[in-house]
Amino acid sequence: MSETKRTAVITGATSDRGIGRAVAQRYAREGWAVVILDLDGEKSAKVAAEIGNQFAVPAFGYAIDVTSEESVAAAQHAVAAEVNSGALPPVGALANIAGITSPVPFLETTLDLWNKVMAVNATGTYLVTKAFLPDMIDNGWGRIVNMSSVSAQRGGGVFGKVPYSSAKAAILGFTKALAREIADTGVTVNAVTPGAVDTNIRVGSTDEQEAKLARDIPVGRGPRRDRGGHHLPVKRRRQLSVGHHRRYQRREPYSLTGTR
């Protein structure tokens, strides 16, 4: 089965200025069918249709709350129905991108904030992976890429603070442990650890915060976009994790940090 006959599932991919949407477009450009899963089902369907039309690939959008086991199961069942009907090829890749940040100093955090950030970032990655992994194992091939952050490796210092860094560190541990556990199945699991990226997740940041972010990056800026406004390093790195040449590569955190 060639890569052009597989489907990539991407969570958190409806934002106009998000990594998820750029990644979905990259998959589609490479000939993959795409599934867009996000909180807003109507917008997910719209974005999927736009990408499908743009790149002439099958596409499907559906609502998902990654913190809800029931919602995740419903989304997986909907995708499976599309596959079984022949509207989509089998799922061959999963990109867990849905996430939220927390630019709140530690002593000002609440348990509710902590739980929410952990639920969307870490628990969401767990639930969505658990839902889509069985079919990949049954098919003997799959590529899972999880969105962590340089904050997990250096202990914050980008935009999100303690809850965010902790959740993203949990994703690294999850990625490495799962990759080891399923190493003989044909499914690989890797993580990406971007530095500061100009997306909607940083809405509300001050000029002072943005200046500090730039100062903390040795090259003095965040990742550049292509002419379509897409984040080149991130989408290219994620594509590297899904090809046939990556059969041997597992548990690898890809750092995209401006040599941070």
Q: Which residues are catalytic?
A: 164
- Here the tokens at position 214 are 């730039």
Residue 117 burial (10 A CB sphere; 0-12, 13-18, 19+):
buried
Residue 28 to residues 60, 64, 185, Cα–Cα distance (Å): 12, 21, 25
Which residue has tokens 């999927």?
48
Q: What are phi and psi of 237, to 5 degrees?
A: -60, -40
Cα R_g (the chain), whole angstroms: 17
Q: Which helix (H) or strand (E) holds 69?
A: helix 69-85
Residues 6+ apart with CB under 8 A from 98: 11, 12, 20, 37, 38, 64, 66, 120, 124, 128
Q: What is the DSSP letter of 66?
A: T
